[in-house]
């Protein structure tokens, strides 16, 4: 993990995840949406008013980058399976996560 102490930006040298602050890191590391991540870090103040939070739009470029990464994961697991290599539970979990992300991106593109 590489961390910029001035800006708070981070980049994982292993998986390529990156972002601009601690909240984004916590969201990605724990697969949380914005509000649950903010609450977990005690940075969310609930004033009792309704929350009108909408996920910001994701650029087409970012979707393609994520899609390329997730397809690579699926391809690697498929290659192992085609060679008769048994995959671990961790690999299965990551495969399902990749498939889910690919499905969400396909859904976003379909609704655009």
Q: What does the pLDDT look like over 55-98, one tens digit per residue?
A: 566 677 888 888 888 999 899 999 999 999 998 998 888 889 88
Inside any domain, residue 85: yes
Do 73 and 102 lie in a common domain?
A: yes
pTM of the entire predicted model:
0.47
- Distance CA(102)–CA(18), nearest Å, equals 19
Q: How many other C-beta atoms are found inside a 10 Å radius of the C-beta of residue 95?
A: 18
- Domain membership flag for residue 48: no
Q: What average pLDDT does the structure give for the chain?
A: 80
Is the residue at 73 inside a domain?
yes
Is residue 47 domain-resident? no
In a domain, 35, yes or no: yes
User: Does an H or E element contain 10, and which?
Assistant: strand 10-11
Indicate whether 69 and 107 sit together in one domain. Answer: yes
What is the C-alpha to C-alpha distance for residues 71 and 67, in angstroms, rounded to an integer?
Answer: 6
Q: Containing domain of residue 107, as a range?
A: 60-111
Residue 46 in any domain: the answer is: no
Tally the domains of the chain. Answer: 2
Determine, yes or no, domain membership for 53: no
Is there a single domain that holds both residue 32 and residue 66?
no
> 7 in a domain, yes or no?
yes
Q: What is the dihedral of CA 77, 83, 89, 93, to 10 degrees?
A: 20
Distance of CA 61 to the CA centre of its chain: 15
Interhelix angle 89-111/60-82, rounded to 10 degrees, is: 140
- Answer yes or no: do 64 and 107 share one domain: yes
Is pLDDT larger for residue 20 or for residue 87? Answer: 87
């Amino acid at each position: 993990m590489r961390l910029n102490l001035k800006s708070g930006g981070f980049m994982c040298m292993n998986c390529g995840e990156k972002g601009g602050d601690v909240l984004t890191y916590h969201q990605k590391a724990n697969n949380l949406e914005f509000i649950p991540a903010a609450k977990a870090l005690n940075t969310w103040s609930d004033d009792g008013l309704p929350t009108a939070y909408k996920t910001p739009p994701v650029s087409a470029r970012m979707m393609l980058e994520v899609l390329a990464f997730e397809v690579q994961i699926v391809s690697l697991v498929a290659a192992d399976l085609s060679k008769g290599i048994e995959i671990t539970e961790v690999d299965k979990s990551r495969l399902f996560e990749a498939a889910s992300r690919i499905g969400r991106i396909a859904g976003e593109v379909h609704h655009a």
